[in-house]
Amino acid sequence: MPVKGAGKLLGCRVLVAAAALLACLVLPAAATAETFFVTTTADEADSAVGSDGCLTAGGKCSLRAALEEANASLGEFDEVNFEEGVFEGRATDVITLGSALPTIVDPIRIFGRECETVAGPGEPCVEIRGLPTAPALSVDGVEGTEFESLAVTGAEVGLLAKGATGMRVRGSWFGIALDGSAAGNATGIELADGSDGARIGGEGPEPKNLLANSAETGLSIIGSSKTRVLGNDFGVALDGAAPNGTNLAIASEPDSPALDNTVGTRVSPAAAATPACDGGCNLISGSGTNGIDLTGSAGAGPPSGTTVAGNHIGLDRAGTGSLANAGVGILVGAAPRTVVGGPRPEDANRIAGGTVAISATGSAPYLVVRSNLIGSAATASGSGSPLAGGIEVDSGGLTLAAEEAQILDNEIGLDGGTGIAHAGLAGEISGNHVGGAATGIELGSAESLVEANTVEAPEEVGILVENGFNSVFANHVVDSGGAGIRVEGSGVFGVSGNLIGGGSGASENVIDGSDGDAIEVINPKASRTEVARNRGSGNGGLFLDLVASDPDPGDIDPGDPNGGILPPPIALVSENSAAGFAEPGATVRVFRKAGPEAGEIDAFLGQASADDAGNWSLGFPVPLPAGAAIAATQTFESGTSELEITAVPLAEDAQRGQGGGGAASDRKPPRTRMLKQPRKVRAGRAASFSFTANEPGSSFQCSLDRAKFEPCASPQRYRIRKPGKHLFRVRAIDAAGNVDRTPVRRRFEVIG
């Protein structure tokens, strides 16, 4: 027959005086804390609610009868246990509900014990199989309820809590039967209507919850705050994927906001060092849509102050490979004050697979995305690249710079897509490492800072700037398939006000090994970009290339990048100084080159300002050896020119120059100047190019579409009948045989 916690657990355990004993004896039975032992899988009602026991008509204690009795003893913390021998974790140890269980309205702990199951020891002993039209377990307005070691299956909601503050759920399976088979609920757990301070799962030795096979959501937190979600498995069964529709969703109700909820934790250094998800880490994988959804829904807004840290998202149970969520790993939407990751390595979320790892495209104010491991950087096997990219943030709806997103210190390994994409207003993108993307960092935002990032082996562009007034400092771009850094405006708007490289050595961008230009400015409109101190080597194109892209049809004056500013001629150069000409008031920056390659800059030598007549001069910080190459740009009205390149003359050349010299002593290459070129020409009509050189008597060589240079003269004409885009190059050769090492390049299009 049923017993009650060795009778009753009286509130008076130690009696020290007769008066105390008398007080205990006169307490009513309803005021005692009771322990009920369920002894049957049958779903039968209590025969006499409020009597001494939880007996059904069959003479046993059912779960339904225990809940009815517990609700009748208001004001005390009751406990429901399950009888050994009856409930041993077998596939038949199932309480199949015929109707909804009573809603719990009094504090209670329901403990299913731990048994040996198909998953091994320490798993639930009992399964509660609910109805698809009702919750299996429900709590309303009760503080401190506890649920442990239960399997809850087949219900509309496995556990529904309303106004249930301080609830605890540990070691339970939602959507997995005792035999390990899928038996999903529509929603696993729902915390609603101010169920604040709940703790779902635990750290360390506390047993985790499994939330799987839910048609809608594994865990739904709606209008509840300060929940801690720790050490749970979402969307993962005992032997593989068991997808929820969405693994975890958090939203605010109009009259009940969801504030300061935490998913995961700062795991210990020891836990962070192992590939498995432990130490309070949640495994959030395999969903049919998104891993974590903070967007809200119809009638519900986004939460505020959510922290997501120390989790595995889209990884398998071993933590070595991918078990991707079908959609976004963490979908922030517009949720304000969201923190994904944190300042320490133990805060890192590991995110693999899906479409995008982290997405906030709803102008989420005060967003911080920090120190996460994404894609191949998240898995021991190096797999798991998201399909479209790593981190995407759109801050277009923000109005204050203080609300800007911070994207800091993330490790991102991709196989295509965009590493970090930021649009809208302001942002800080600093200290990130992006490898293997098509585009490393895409900056569609204005007034943002891109600083101290490393981009390795992007397929197309290292850093792409598509808006104005951004600062791009101290980044390292290595082995780009195209340009290292590209500033590119649209066909409708140019982009101005960007600063590429700063005024100190620490702020220099380093661009090495690009197949294309190191820095490229492409614009169909007359926009302005300042290119200050930068360096690098091994780039296949120019170090700084201003490219006038195709204009819009009917655009009479498309303009040129940086106002068509030309490199500053270097008239005199010695081991100690250089001098020349520039726009009056322009800033001239002079660099040392390590060799003759057009795509290389070794070090910054100094800068000077041109006077009212356009003259400038600069003394070098240390003497340069004879034959050393130097290069100079000029910046005027915030637009920077391409590089003018020359060399320190050899000693005999300097002496000959002092004595008059001649063509034989001339080792300075000429500069080629383009006078006129088409941007579009009809098929079959002549595309005519006019050019000259700064040294009289120079000859020229031309090339079309990277063919071998051949002798030519101005104007050079081509008749091309097939529509398409083409590249024309021309270089001058002076009377001494010196060849312009930086041919003029112009792109044009033949249209049908």
- Among residues 648, 681, 705, which one ends one of the domains? 648
598: Cβ contacts below 8 Å, ≥ 6 apart: 541, 542, 543, 643, 645, 741, 742
Same domain (yes/no): 156, 47: yes
Same domain (yes/no): 35, 175: yes
Backbone region of residue 305 per phi and psi (left: phi > 0; alpha: psi in -120 to 50; beta: other values)? left
In a domain, 740, yes or no: yes
Which H, E and C letters describe 78-134, residue by residue? Answer: EEEEECCCCCCCCCCCEEECCCCCCCECCCEEEECCEEEECCEEEEECEEEECCCCC
198: Cβ contacts below 8 Å, ≥ 6 apart: 161, 164, 165, 166, 167, 168, 169, 191, 224, 227, 228
- Give the pLDDT of residue 659: 40
Which is higher by pLDDT, 607 or 667? 607
Residue range 388-436, pLDDT digits in tens: 999 999 998 888 878 999 999 999 999 999 999 999 988 999 999 999 9
Residue 522, SS3 per DSSP: strand
- Among residues 185, 218, 237, which one ends one of the domains? 185
Cβ proximity of 609 and 586 under 8 Å: yes
Question: DSSP secondary-structure letter at 632?
Answer: E
Residue range 430-487, pLDDT digits in tens: 999 999 999 999 999 999 999 999 999 999 999 999 999 999 999 999 999 999 999 9
Cα–Cα distance for residue pair 334/336, rounded to 1 Å: 6
Same domain (yes/no): 644, 676: no
C-alpha of 558 from chain center: 36
Cα–Cα distance for residue pair 81/174, rounded to 1 Å: 19
The two tokens of residue 583 are 């726009």
Same domain (yes/no): 173, 79: yes
663 closest CA partner among 573, 571, 734: 734
Same domain (yes/no): 625, 682: no
Cα–Cα distance for residue pair 672/728, rounded to 1 Å: 13
Cα–Cα distance for residue pair 471/485, rounded to 1 Å: 12
Average pLDDT over residues 216-228: 98
How much is the mean pLDDT over the chain?
88
Average pLDDT over residues 641-657: 72
Is 70 exceeded by the pLDDT of residue 110?
yes
Cα–Cα distance for residue pair 716/699, rounded to 1 Å: 13
Cα–Cα distance for residue pair 151/124, rounded to 1 Å: 6
Token pair 């639930």: residue: 124
**Local confidence band at 525 (pLDDT 50, 70, 90 cut-offs):** low
What sign results for the dihedral spanned by CA atoms 82, 84, 88, 92?
Answer: negative
52: Cβ contacts below 8 Å, ≥ 6 apart: 4, 29
Average pLDDT over residues 362-374: 95
Cα–Cα distance for residue pair 429/464, rounded to 1 Å: 13
Is 60 exceeded by the pLDDT of residue 47?
yes
Is 80 exceeded by the pLDDT of residue 556?
no
Is 70 exceeded by the pLDDT of residue 670?
yes
Q: How many domains does the chain have?
A: 3
Same domain (yes/no): 162, 14: yes
Residue 657, SS3 per DSSP: helix
- Give the pLDDT of residue 491: 59
- Give the pLDDT of residue 493: 67
In a domain, 134, yes or no: yes
Cα–Cα distance for residue pair 462/276, rounded to 1 Å: 33
- Name the amino acid, one letter, at 734: D
In a domain, 282, yes or no: no
Average pLDDT over residues 156-161: 98
Least confident of 299-308, 468-477, 667-676: 667-676
Average pLDDT over residues 176-192: 96
Same domain (yes/no): 39, 154: yes
136 closest CA partner among 205, 183, 171: 183
562 closest CA partner among 519, 520, 529, 532: 529
**Local confidence band at 108 (pLDDT 50, 70, 90 cut-offs):** very high
What CATH code is carried by the domain that includes residue 747?
A: 2.60.40.10
**Local confidence band at 669 (pLDDT 50, 70, 90 cut-offs):** confident
In a domain, 167, yes or no: yes
Question: DSSP secondary-structure letter at 130?
Answer: -
Same domain (yes/no): 606, 746: no
Average pLDDT over residues 533-555: 79
Cβ proximity of 366 and 392 under 8 Å: no
In a domain, 392, yes or no: no
How much is the pTM?
A: 0.84
Is 70 exceeded by the pLDDT of residue 153?
yes
Average pLDDT over residues 35-64: 92
Question: DSSP secondary-structure letter at 503?
Answer: S
- Among residues 185, 205, 233, which one ends one of the domains? 185
Residue 586, SS3 per DSSP: coil
Which is higher by pLDDT, 560 or 22? 560
Same domain (yes/no): 599, 676: no
- Give the pLDDT of residue 22: 34
In a domain, 450, yes or no: no
Percent over 90 (pLDDT), the chain? 68
Cα–Cα distance for residue pair 367/370, rounded to 1 Å: 10
C-alpha of 69 from chain center: 51
Percent over 70 (pLDDT), the chain? 91
Helix, strand, coil percent values for the chain (each to nearest 5) = 5, 40, 55
The two tokens of residue 83 are 């009888």
Same domain (yes/no): 59, 181: yes
Cβ proximity of 69 and 55 under 8 Å: no
**Local confidence band at 671 (pLDDT 50, 70, 90 cut-offs):** confident
Cα–Cα distance for residue pair 648/212, rounded to 1 Å: 72
- Supply the range of the domain harboring residue 69: 1-185
Average pLDDT over residues 207-222: 95
In a domain, 700, yes or no: yes
In a domain, 31, yes or no: yes
- Give the pLDDT of residue 695: 81
Which is higher by pLDDT, 614 or 401? 614
CA distances (Å), origin 37, targets 29, 76, 355: 18, 17, 49
**Local confidence band at 20 (pLDDT 50, 70, 90 cut-offs):** very low
Same domain (yes/no): 5, 79: yes
- Give the pLDDT of residue 94: 98
- Give the pLDDT of residue 399: 81
Least confident of 174-183, 689-698, 741-750: 689-698
Average pLDDT over residues 614-621: 95
Same domain (yes/no): 66, 146: yes
Rg (CA), the chain: 36
- Give the pLDDT of residue 382: 82
Which H, E and C letters describe 413-472, residue by residue? Answer: ECCCCEEEEEEEEEEEEECCEEECCCEEEEEEEEEEEEECCEEECCCCEEEEECCCCCEE
